Structure 1
Amino acid sequence: MKSVIFVCLGNICRSPIAEGYARKILEENKMKIVVDSAGTGDWHVGEPPCNNSITVARNNGVDISSQRSRQVTKRDLQEFDLVIALDDSNFSDLKSLGANNITKLGDYGYDGADVPDPYFYDGFEGFQEVYKMIEVCVNNLFSVKSI
């Protein structure tokens, strides 16, 4: 695998965390894999990740503050070796766009479970739980030991 893109709904919560964490562990393990993230929707295009995502990532040694939301394109689906959806809804949306090289992040550690969207829940705890899920699954995806 030479490239992977993580895709959630708005590209301001889950997929930026996944991108940021993946970049961190790939760098630490001297692996050369292109990583990106995007959203299936266009509501937040150009915006930074939400404050809670930036904070939970920063609390875990990952800086995602310079990322900006973008919408996934059909070109992304052709150019990336692996397209990773964060939940069933994103998976279905990506399938309808023609993605063939697609899987769910939860397939790498949570028996295919969705990584829930913390944006729709009150409080910071949801972001912490999502970060933990992403950390486990991304480590398994790239077959690295938990850091």
Structure 2
Amino acid sequence: MSAPRVLFVCLGNICRSPLVEGVARQRCAEAGLAVDVASCGTGHWHVGEGADPRMVRAAAVAGFDLSTHRARQLRAADLDEYDLVLAMDSDNLRGIRHLVTAHSRAETALFLPWTGTAPPQDFPDPYYGEAEAFTACVGLAEQAVAGLIERLRRR
């Protein structure tokens, strides 16, 4: 059986989804769980750019390296190439579901509820916030990825 493929999706692919991708990649490896993770955004504004420097700093403080990340936009083909496409918020989930066809194989869901994380339903977007908002996102990502790992182990 091949490793599950999980795609994390936010709006611009520079804050939340690259963070969750980085945390999931590291924590899955530490747990000995073979999982192929990636991230993208529903919007095109930041394609080719690195992660937001504020998120890179907050992640680095917690031991996660986002320095090699490059933003990309969600493609219809992603819904055939990934097993799980997990949205950071309800708006992103609507954007993903606009691309779903009868032939799409990916399960689509909101990230936090899918992982069994307590509220909020939507992963807060720190983009317009202060540094503390980015730090809070790192903690939430770590908590939710722990739930993701447990759920993937049960599959």
TM range (shorter): over 0.9
- Give the match for residue 133 of structure 1: 140
1:115 aligns with 2:123: yes
Give CA-to-partner distance per residue, 1:84-108, whole Å, 9 cap, x none: 0000000111011116511111102
Q: Which runs of structure 2 are paired with 1:50-129 in the superposition (5 Å)?
A: 50-98=52-100, 101-107=107-113, 108=115, 109-111=117-119, 113-121=121-129, 123-129=130-136
Q: Is the 8 A contact 1:105 1:138 kept in 2?
A: no
Q: Which runs of 4+ in 1 moved over 4 A?
A: none
Give CA-to-partner distance per residue, 1:92-135, whole Å, 9 cap, x none: 110111165111111020246100110022x1011111111111
What is the number of equivalent residue pairs in this alignment? Answer: 143
Counterpart pick for 1:44 among 43, 46, 53: 46
Q: In the aligned structure 2, how far is the partner of 1:110 from the partner of 1:72?
A: 27
Q: In the aligned structure 2, how far is the partner of 1:115 from the partner of 1:2?
A: 22
TM-score normalised by length of structure 2: 0.88
Q: Is the 8 A contact 1:8 1:85 kept in 2?
A: yes
Amino acid aligned to 1:106: L
Give CA-to-partner distance per residue, 1:17-49, whole Å, 9 cap, x none: 000000000111111110000000000000000
Q: Is the 8 A contact 1:104 1:112 kept in 2?
A: no
1:142 aligns with 2:143: no
TM-score normalised by length of structure 1: 0.92
What are structure 2's unaligned runs of at least 5 residues?
Answer: none
What are structure 1's unaligned runs of at least 5 residues?
Answer: none
| Aligned residues with identical type, % of pairs | 38
Give CA-to-partner distance per residue, 1:56-95, whole Å, 9 cap, x none: 1101111011110000111111110000000000011101
Q: In the aligned structure 2, how far is the partner of 1:3 from the partner of 1:120?
A: 30
Amino acid aligned to 2:45: W
Task: Kindly report the root-mean-square deviation, in angstroms, between the aligned alpha carbons of the 2 structures.
Answer: 1.5
